[in-house]
Amino acid sequence: MSNTENPVRIAQLSCGAEYSGIQKEIDSAVEQVNAVMVYPEIDILDIEAIEEDFGLKVASPDLKLMMARAKAIVTGKVHVDAVFVATCFRCAEAALVRSEVRRYIHEKTGIPVISYSFTERTTAGTLLTRMEALTTTARRKSLLAREKQSGLTAGIDSGSTTTKAVIMRDNEIIGKGWVPTVKVLDSAEEAYNDALKEAGIKREEVQALGTTGYGRFLVGEHFKADLIQEEITVNSKGAVYLADMQKGVATVLDIGGMDNKAISVLDGIPGMFTMGGICAGASGRFLEMTAKRLGVSITELGALAIKGRAQNIKMNSYCIVFGIQSLVNSLAAGGNPEDVAAAACHSVAEQLFEQQLQEVDVKEPVIMVGGTSLIEGLPRAVEELLKVKVIVPDNAQYIGAVGAALLVSGFISR
């Protein structure tokens, strides 16, 4: 983050952070993104009146303080560029307040808000991507308001497993490239060249290029990208754009090859999210291994799963080692491949629920993106588990690249 820009003023509205011993971690993450944390001053009378004003009665005084501070921001008593709402993980009362405070500030002011539930194990590293997304939203508000792609732009998503590239012209995808990530730069070159070839244009014709994903900095530097952006912001925007649901709430689920994201989105801007490869049993790798064991390609696994019944297979574990062992045992006992494929999808969905969705509200529409969303059995298993309809937009596997190409089109006129 460039230090020539003015620091972003972030208001911290939290309950329990200081007693969890993580205030130092919050301060450290904020410092790294050239921001400063501020704590809105309020009067004691404001706290006493806040439950009536806000309409939410709670027992914890620190949560009343959070609501009063939110009101101070909304009424303009305090001027901030962004808001960080954080409470203890597993506190139900705080989760309700956190969600409502976030909605309240967003609806009344449009100031970017991000929310998080922490434990004593929360580190500055965990918070950094969140703070990066928050400060980006604050600094590039006009860019994120963009709902249509314009001009001729490119997006490259350098993921941990695959590298994706797209070329877009006047709000349409005209070229795509999707290759496994081997060497980060070589794979990016290959995917980009494939996309350019399909689009039938030369590299120098591209007016602006954006990068995202794990390799975004390396690839961005190599291609002299106009925009290098973390994947939470880009994927949120890309998902609601592809699903044509840019206004209102949405939940974006991205099960990657090695890494998952569950993002609660409001008007295309990320609020609460979980990310990270906590467990391989909740990743695309689990499905890859199942496909390999069944002797089918990963692209065939989904169709197979649709024909099967997960309930016919007994799985003792969600673990990528022991869970796969259960599937192998089922095959050895005469289980049919369709049921095994369905059970694998069901297992990944269950683990997604256990590991990623604990902190994220599942508000419809639920949009599934990333390569695994094309394995039909997986969105169906998620639908069954969450009791919601899951939307898989066209080109869902190019989510990051499309989001980057869309956002970077805002740089053309500059």
Taking CB under 8 A as the criterion, the residue among 30, 70, 88, 242 binding other proteins is 88
Using CB under 8 A, which of the segments 31-39, 113-121, 212-220, 390-398 binds other proteins?
Answer: 113-121
Q: Which of 30, 37, 58, 70 binds other proteins (CB under 8 A)?
A: 58
Establish if 18 lies at the interface with other proteins (CB under 8 A): yes
Closest CA to 390 of 361, 367, 359: 367
In this structure, is the dihedral angle defined by the CA atoms of residues 291, 292, 294 and 300, taken in order, positive or negative?
positive
User: Quick one: how many helices (H) and strands (E) in the chain?
Assistant: 15, 14
Contact flag: residue 61 with other proteins (CB under 8 A)? yes
Q: How far out from the chain centre does Cα 48 lie?
A: 37
CA 312, CA 233: separation in Å to the nearest integer? Answer: 40
What is the nearest approach in angstroms of other proteins to the Cβ of residue 53? 16
Order of strands, sheet of 366-369, starting from the edge strand that comes earlier in the sequence: 35-38, 8-15, 82-88, 113-118, 269-276, 260-266, 249-255, 366-369, 390-391
| Alpha-carbon span 82 to 332, nearest angstrom | 56
CA distance 191 to 212: 14
Contact 63, 97 (CB under 8 A): yes
Please say which residue, 22 or 253, places its beta carbon nearer to other proteins: 22
> Does residue 336 contact residue 304 with C-beta atoms inside 8 Å?
no
The residue within the footprint of other proteins, chosen from 78, 91, 185, 319 (CB under 8 A), is 91
- Binding segment (CB under 8 A) for other proteins, from list 3-11, 117-125, 353-361, 370-378: 117-125
Please report whether residue 210 would count as binding other proteins according to CB under 8 A: no
- Position 54 contacts other proteins (CB under 8 A): no
Instruction: Please tell me whether residue 183 binds other proteins under the rule CB under 8 A.
Output: no
Task: Say if CB 312 and CB 298 are below 8 A apart.
Answer: no
Which residues are paired to 156 by β-bridges?
165, 211
Site size toward other proteins (CB under 8 A) is 31
Q: Using the minimum distance from each CB to other proteins, give the nearer residue, 19 or 217.
A: 19
Q: Pick the stretch among 12-20, 136-144, 220-228, 270-278 that binds other proteins (CB under 8 A).
A: 12-20
Neighbours of 202 (CB within 10 A): 8
* Stretch of 81-89, 189-197, 249-257, 343-351 contacting other proteins, by CB under 8 A: 81-89
In contact, 286 and 323? CB cutoff 8 Å: yes
Degrees to nearest 5, angle at CA 249 with 243 and 254? 55
* Cβ atoms of 261 and 247 closer than 8 Å: no
- Taking the complex as a whole, the smallest distance from the CB of residue 120 to other proteins amounts, in Å, to 4
CB of 335 closer than 8 Å to CB of 312: yes
Tell me the closest approach of the beta carbon of residue 374 to other proteins, in angstroms: 37
Smaller CB separation from other proteins, 52 or 244: 52
Separation CA 409–CA 414 (nearest Å): 10
**Bond into 365 cis (ω within 30):** yes
Residue 32 interacting with other proteins (CB under 8 A): no
Least distance (Å) between residue 131 CB and other proteins: 18
Which residue's CB is nearer to other proteins, number 89 or number 214? 89
Contact, 394 vs 368, CB < 8 A? no
Closest distance between other proteins and the C-beta of residue 357, in Å?
Answer: 17
Does the protein bind other proteins through residue 35 (CB under 8 A)? no
The span of 41-49, 103-111, 332-340, 392-400 binding other proteins (CB under 8 A) equals 41-49
Minimum distance from residue 97 beta carbon to other proteins (Å): 12
Pairing of strands 249-255, 260-266: antiparallel
* Alpha-carbon dihedral angle through residues 119, 121, 124, 130, given to the nearest 10 degrees: -40
Looking at the Cβ atoms of 5 and 48, the one nearer to other proteins is 48
| 17 sits near other proteins (criterion: CB under 8 A) | yes
**Residue 221 near residue 211, CB atoms below 8 Å:** no
Does the footprint of other proteins cover residue 327 (CB under 8 A)? no
Beta bridge pairs of residue 367: 252, 391
Can residue 93 be called a binding residue for other proteins (CB under 8 A)?
A: yes
Site string for other proteins, 118-157 (x = CB under 8 A): xxxx------------------------------------
According to the binding rule CB under 8 A, does residue 94 interact with other proteins?
Answer: yes
* Residue pointed to by tokens 């419809």: 364
Among 5, 6, 21, 148, binds other proteins (CB under 8 A): 21
Q: Which of residues 353-392 bind other proteins (CB under 8 A)?
A: none
Does 247 interact with other proteins (rule: CB under 8 A)? no
* Positions that interact with other proteins (CB under 8 A): 15-24, 44, 47-48, 58-62, 64-65, 87-91, 93-94, 118-121
